[in-house]
Structure formats: structure tokens, C-alpha cells
């Protein structure tokens, strides 16, 4: 994955919170994706961010929310997880 890649939602995608299912949903032609909280948080990061920025921002958010260091995920694992998710999202046409 390019270091310079700044993922942006596909132009035909609509990302929003669904109060009925109490979750973020990603809506695409003929497809509705129910997102878990971390997937929603990643996709909500806007196009100015690289995957590394997104990972850092999420880490800061979790820190602010007061997760203590024992609960927060390993930095390496989290970086890999965000990168893997974004690659999958790109392959599926959710982001470009």
C-alpha cells in the first residue's frame, strides 16, 4: 500500500449511522454493509489521512476515551489491522 494513499469513500457510497440497528452502515448500489464500531471509525476518517494517520488518530481517540494501556491494542497489531481493513475496503470498492 502506498504511503501517500489517502482513502476516500467511493462516490456512490453513503456512510451513516442507522438508529434502528444502532450501528454505522455503508450503503452502495444493491448493497448495505453493517459496520462494526472500528470499521465505522476507520471509514469516517476523511480523505486527508493516510492509513497511518487514521491509525494514529484512532489511537488518540481511544486514549482520550480513557482506555488504559493494558486494554489498548498493540501498536503493530492495530496498524496492520487498519491497513488490512482499508485494503479490503478498496478491493470491495468502498474506498478508493
Question: In Å, how far are 9, 59, 72, 80 from 16, measured between CA atoms?
Answer: 12, 22, 26, 25
Applying CB under 8 A, which of residues 4, 20, 65, 77 lies at the interface with other proteins? Answer: 20
Please report whether residue 16 would count as binding other proteins according to CB under 8 A.
Answer: yes
The candidate with the shortest Cα–Cα distance to 33, out of 45, 51, 49, 21, is 21
DSSP three-state, residue 21: coil
Q: How far is the CB of 42 from other proteins (least distance, A)?
A: 20
Q: Choose the binding region for other proteins from 11-19, 43-51, 55-63, 76-84 (rule: CB under 8 A).
A: 11-19
The answer to whether 21 contacts other proteins (rule: CB under 8 A) is: yes
Amino acid at each position: 500500500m502506498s504511503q501517500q494513499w489517502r482513502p476516500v469513500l467511493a462516490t456512490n457510497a453513503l456512510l451513516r449511522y442507522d438508529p434502528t440497528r444502532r450501528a454505522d452502515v455503508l450503503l452502495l448500489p444493491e448493497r448495505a454493509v453493517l459496520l462494526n464500531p472500528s470499521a465505522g471509525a476507520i471509514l469516517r476518517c476523511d480523505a486527508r489521512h493516510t492509513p497511518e494517520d487514521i491509525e494514529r488518530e484512532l489511537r488518540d481517540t481511544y486514549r482520550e476515551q480513557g482506555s488504559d494501556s493494558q486494554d489498548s491494542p498493540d501498536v503493530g497489531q492495530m496498524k496492520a489491522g487498519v491497513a488490512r481493513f482499508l485494503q479490503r475496503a478498496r478491493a470491495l470498492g468502498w474506498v478508493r
